[in-house]
């Protein structure tokens, strides 16, 4: 890491990295309001439509494992550009899908490409910044990314009314294509050739084995999986709970979804302000504690069959503090990456998305009710808190060899 570099020195790069990591968020949130329309178009069940989300999340998990070794072998730039191009192709196929089965395949292709937009930016940040500065970078990325949950559901509603659910994927393809062009122009390769790892089964297995021996890295990764499990349960069930259960209109749902995202942006901004004083470790534990307490209040309210707006208010409190968690958790996890930031980023992302998808599916099997969602959020919040406390006692982060500065990037393809 280069301690002399701060994110303020590279705003264009930070913005482009945020655009790339928004691809998966946009692919989820943009068409959430279209779930009922997709079901009607294919005469599909609610479970089949929800499966398009689960398939996408599983694809993200597996895809990240594949990109990790590629990023450590070929650098950060080439695999990133190839993956984003694959995402565009999957979006076009989704827009033209003649059946729910083809749509599921298109979502898998989308995920295979979007995984590059998750793994590569984390590896680039780890290459360039110290752990504390990286926490600030991740918080900035999170704030920019949260523009997607704010805008995507509302944008999806308007696109749905204008051109139907297929137009949602067409617009998504155009947006991600624009991100690809920006990445081609702005993103350099932060991994010099002399630090690249061989692409062999033994080398990859050795890198993953080394990470698995790091107790803190594993616990932080599992904490992320539990955290995302609750978040995915919220994302996949909220359209049905709020619109079908509480009778919200699509506009009200979009405003609610976006309002919660705004609270996450606000807590992320607060996190950046507090980082120089308290550091990522203390802020992470504070955020996890608030998250668990709010989840408990939400569960009690849901069990008492509270009204719609009280439920939404407590849900906003529960999720609104995630800005104090995401950036710090990512920075602390990646601080244990050592010389294999690509593989570490892949393992972290894959474990989180796979665990999150499994938790989301298990929660969904109990139904899409307010009580089930609240119970899932509470269980995930408590598990994340316990794992975060355990990881904080797991030892110091690994300090890798100083990476190259962005002022001297590798040659770009």
357-367 tens-digit pLDDT: 788 778 878 88
Residues 338 and 341: their CA atoms lie apart, in Å, by 7
What's 198's DSSP letter? P
pLDDT > 70: percent of the chain: 92
Show the domains of the chain with their CATH numbers.
7-185+211-392 (1.20.1250.20)
66-116 tens-digit pLDDT: 888 888 888 888 999 999 999 999 999 999 999 999 999 999 999 999 999
Quick one: pLDDT at residue 3?
Answer: 46
Mean pLDDT of 42-47: 82
Q: Which residues of 37-57 are buried (b: 16+ CB within 10 A; e: fewer)?
A: bbbebbebeeebbbbbbbbbb
At residue 243, does pLDDT exceed 80? Answer: yes
117-161 tens-digit pLDDT: 988 988 888 887 776 777 788 877 777 776 776 677 778 888 888
- The model carries a pTM of 0.75
Q: What is the CA radius of gyration of the chain?
A: 20
How many residues in total does the chain contain?
Answer: 413
Neighbour-count burial of 89, counting CB atoms closer than 10 A to its CB (0-12 exposed, 13-18 middle, 19+ buried): middle
CB 235 within 8 A of CB 407: no
Quick one: pLDDT at residue 6?
Answer: 57
At residue 298, does pLDDT exceed 50? Answer: yes
Here the tokens at position 78 are 């080439």
pLDDT band at 395 (very low <50, low <70, confident <90, very high): low
């Amino acid at each position: 890491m280069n301690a002399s570099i701060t994110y303020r020195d590279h705003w264009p790069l930070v913005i482009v990295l945020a655009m790339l990591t928004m691809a998966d968020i946009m692919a989820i949130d943009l068409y959430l309001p279209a779930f009922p329309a997709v079901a009607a178009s294919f005469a599909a069940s609610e479970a089949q439509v929800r499966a398009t989300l689960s398939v996408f999340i599983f694809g993200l998990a597996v895809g990240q494992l594949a990109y990790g070794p590629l990023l450590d072998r070929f650098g950060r730039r080439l695999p990133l550009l190839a993956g984003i191009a694959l995402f565009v192709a999957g979006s076009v196929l989704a827009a033209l899908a003649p059946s729910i089965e083809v749509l599921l395949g298109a979502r898998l292709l989308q995920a295979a490409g979007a995984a590059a937009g998750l793994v590569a930016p984390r590896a680039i940040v780890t290459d360039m910044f110290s752990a504390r500065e990286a926490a600030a970078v991740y918080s900035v990325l999170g704030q920019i990314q949260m523009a997607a949950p704010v805008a995507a559901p509302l944008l999806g509603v308007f696109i749905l009314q204008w051109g139907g659910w297929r137009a949602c994927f067409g617009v998504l393809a155009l947006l991600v294509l624009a991100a690809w062009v920006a990445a081609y122009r702005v993103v350099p390769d932060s991994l010099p050739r002399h630090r690249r790892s061989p692409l062999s089964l033994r080398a990859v297995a050795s890198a993953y084995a080394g990470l698995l021996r790091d107790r803190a890295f594993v616990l932080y990764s599992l904490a992320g999986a539990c955290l995302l499990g609750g978040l995915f349960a919220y994302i996949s069930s909220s359209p049905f709970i709020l619109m079908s259960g509480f009778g919200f209109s699509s506009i009200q749902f979009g405003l609610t979804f976006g309002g919660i995202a705004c609270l996450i942006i606000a807590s992320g901004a607060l996190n950046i302000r507090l980082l120089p004083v308290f550091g990522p470790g203390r802020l992470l534990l504070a955020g996890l504690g608030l998250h668990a307490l709010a989840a408990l209040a939400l569960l009690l309210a849901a069990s008492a069959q509270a009204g719609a707006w009280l439920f939404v208010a407590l849900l906003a409190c529960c999720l609104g503090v995630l800005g104090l968690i995401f950036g710090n958790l990512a920075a602390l996890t990646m601080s244990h990456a050592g010389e294999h930031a690509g593989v570490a980023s892949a393992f972290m992302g894959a474990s989180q998305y796979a665990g999150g998808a499994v938790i989301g599916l298990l929660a969904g099997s109990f139904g899409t009710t307010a009580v089930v969602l609240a119970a899932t959020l509470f269980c995930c919040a408590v598990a994340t808190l316990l794992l975060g406390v355990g990881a904080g006692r797991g030892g110091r982060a690994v300090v890798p060899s100083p990476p190259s500065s962005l002022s001297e990037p590798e040659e770009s393809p």
